[in-house]
Structure 1
Amino acid sequence: MNTLPPLFLSHGSPMLALEPGATGEFVARLGPAIDRAFGRPKAVLAVSAHSTAREPVLLASARQHAVYDFGGFPDALYQLQYNPPGAPELAPRVAALLGEAGERAHVLDQGGLDHGIWSMLRFMYPEADIPVLPLAWMPHRPPAEQFAFGQALAALSDEGVLVMGSGSITHNLRRVFAQGRADVGAPEIPESRGFRDWFAERSAARDWPALWNYRRLAPSAADMHPTDEHLLPWFVAAGAGGEATAPLRLHEGVTYGCLGMDVYAFGPSASALAAAL
């Protein structure tokens, strides 16, 4: 099997699961493209903005299930199911890799996929037949440290494991409801466009120092990320792909005028994935 490219997926609102739009349609093509280019992943290691901890935690249940970690949405959203196998046999390998990097990982015989994980995998692999191992990560660390954390996971890509970060390339819920209601088709605000373009340009240039210091250098950074837990999984996935290859934006878009829906691939195999789409 060829090296799998780590991914960052912008999951946006939980409503994406019911209203896929352009991003849902793209992600639905992503799983088959991965299979064609690299073979079916043995497992997915998922790093999501909604599963965080003070130290790394692997949720190594033998069976996973969708967690409805949101409120106030239509009943139909809570009826959706995504119950893939877990990957308990992968957990010791991940814990060992993290241990070599000085990280103490905790392995729990518990499961649960937050919506940042299952809403994406539901489109990528709707049969729910690929084992999933959620990795709760530490949102208090800065981007450069998140990148180093991801570097510790790089060997997994050669072992048939898809490293998947899930968050949002821009994420300000106050902006979503600025007019008193959420409008999924609202035109993109300039601040969102400026931030997304800057991120794509700095990625194409492999300007890692600028990306690690995005909060100081990127336009409208604090506006687009009042807190940065939705962006930091990008750096974990990027670290797993390594510094030598430029991050590749596979898909770009926006919902609600300011929730960026960009998808990135990392590492030397990213271009092969793009060609397979």
Structure 2
Amino acid sequence: MRRFPSLFLSHGSPMTALEAHETGPFWQQLGRSLEARHGRPKAILIISAHTAARQPVLLAGPRHEAIYDFGGFDPRLRSLRYDAPGAPALALEVQALAAQAGITVHSLPQGGLDHGIWVPLRAMYPGADIPVLPLAFVPSQSPGQQFALGEALQSLSETQGVLVIGSGSLTHNLGLVFAGGQMPPIDAPELPASAAFREWWEARSLARDWPALLDYRQQAPHAVDMHPSDEHLLPWFVAAGAAGRTHAPQRIHSALTYGSLGMDAYAFGPEAQGLAEALAATSPAESQGKD
């Protein structure tokens, strides 16, 4: 079984499903690159900012459908489907791995994929034929606790052929996005605070400065402005933990929408650098393009 990198994807607005901008083509290329390098995953374990609970919970139903967990967007979005198989057997393995680390993970026999899941997966794996297992995380837990949850699941991508994905947003302050009373153009110039945060994040990642990253709310520039609440960043730490601390996280996509909504993607683990290089060689402007 080939080893997969774990990933963090910024999913952005649900409209990315209709107006791909830079990130939709990147997701498509990411899916192709992963398949060429690693084959098809046995299953996808995904942690989305929009599926949260008081305790970690697996949605282990046998089938999933897209959930339209938003309002006020183009009604065409509600005609888009992503009917993927579930992964009940994998849920039992995840529970056992977490229990070995002293973490209780619950399981429910129900399905459903929020837009932070089905929008990127629809681009990466449009056939909707890979089993998906959503893991609802606890947004009140610290980055360190999220990282520990990921560490407990490290063997999934290392030896079991499971693709672990965290889905959120590298920067996420909707108050800034709508500060002018309405959403700015998708290609609005980046706010300086957003640029400073995003570049700090990449620099600390490449340096493997885990103490700074885990304490980002105190150490990163404009951290609270970029994340008034950090539920959209916490899945980054679960995905990072699933690959361990040895290898530097690699930014594999750099993009921005609406002036401050970061669309960056990261890969983790020993396969991350090779994936970053493959994406850059295939499509530099879309895969590693700077804003």
**When the two structures are superposed, what TM-score results if normalisation uses the length of structure 2?**
0.94
Structure 1 match to 2:285: none
User: Structure 2: which amino acid aligns with 1:55?
Assistant: Q
- Cα distance in 1 for partners of 2:131, 2:227 equals 31
Q: Percent identical across equivalent pairs?
A: 61
CA distance in 2, matches of 1:238, 1:244: 11
Q: Which amino acid aligns with 2:250?
A: L
Code of the residue aligned with 1:77 in structure 2: it is L
Query: Is the contact between residue 42 and residue 161 of structure 2 (CA under 8 Å) also seen in structure 1?
Result: yes
Paired AA for residue 93 in structure 1: E
Number of equivalenced pairs = 277
Provide the residue aligned with 2:112 in structure 1.
112
Q: How far has the Cα of 1:56 moved from its partner? A: 1.2
Instruction: Give the CA deviation at 1:186.
Output: 1.0
1:172–1:223 contact (8 Å) kept in structure 2: yes
Match of 2:260 among 250, 258, 261: 258
In the TM superposition, 1:1-277 aligns within 5 A as 1-157=1-157, 158-183=159-184, 184-277=186-279
- Could you give the per-residue CA deviations for residues 123-182 of structure 1, whole angstroms, max 9, x where no partner exists? 000111111000001111111111111100100002100000000000000111111111
Runs of 5+ in structure 2 lacking a partner?
A: 280-291
Contact 2:251 2:276 survives alignment (8 Å)? no
Secondary structure at the aligned position of 1:77 is classed as helix
Answer whether contact 1:37 1:276 (CA < 8 A) is retained: no
Q: TM-score, normalization: structure 1?
A: 0.99
SS in 2 for 1:241: coil
**Alignment deviations for residues 21-76 of structure 1 (CA, whole Å, 9 cap, x no partner):** 11111011011111110111010001000011111111111111100111111110
Aligned partner letter, 1:188: E
Q: Distance in 2 between matches of 1:139 and 1:177?
A: 24
Structure 1 ranges of 4+ moved more than 4 A: none
Distance in 2 (CA, whole Å) between partners of 1:80 and 1:2 is 32
Separation in structure 1 between the aligned mates of residue 228 and residue 278 of structure 2, nearest angstrom = 36
Question: Which amino acid in the other structure matches residue 171 of structure 2?
Answer: T
Question: CA offsets per residue over residues 212-253 of structure 1, 9 Å max, x none?
Answer: 010001000000000000000000000001100000000011
Query: Residue 104 of structure 1: CA displacement?
Result: 1.4
1:161, 1:22 → 2: CA distance? Answer: 26
Any gaps of 5 or more consecutive residues in structure 1?
Answer: none
Tell me the distance in 1 between the aligned counterparts of 2:14 and 2:170. 15
- Alpha-carbon distance between aligned partners in 2 of 1:2 and 1:106, rounded to the nearest angstrom: 28
Q: Distance in 2 between matches of 1:7 and 1:181?
A: 32
Task: Look up the equivalent residue of 1:241 and give its one-letter code.
Answer: A
Aligned-partner Cα distance in 2 for 1:69–1:109: 20
Task: Measure the CA separation in 2 of the matches of 1:244 and 1:153.
Answer: 16
Report the secondary structure of 2:77's partner residue: helix
How many angstroms apart in 2 are the aligned matches of 1:108 and 1:98?
16
Shift of 1:185: 1.7
Q: 1:60·1:87 contact (CA, 8 Å) conserved in 2?
A: yes
Letter paired with 2:36:
R
AA aligned opposite 1:27: W
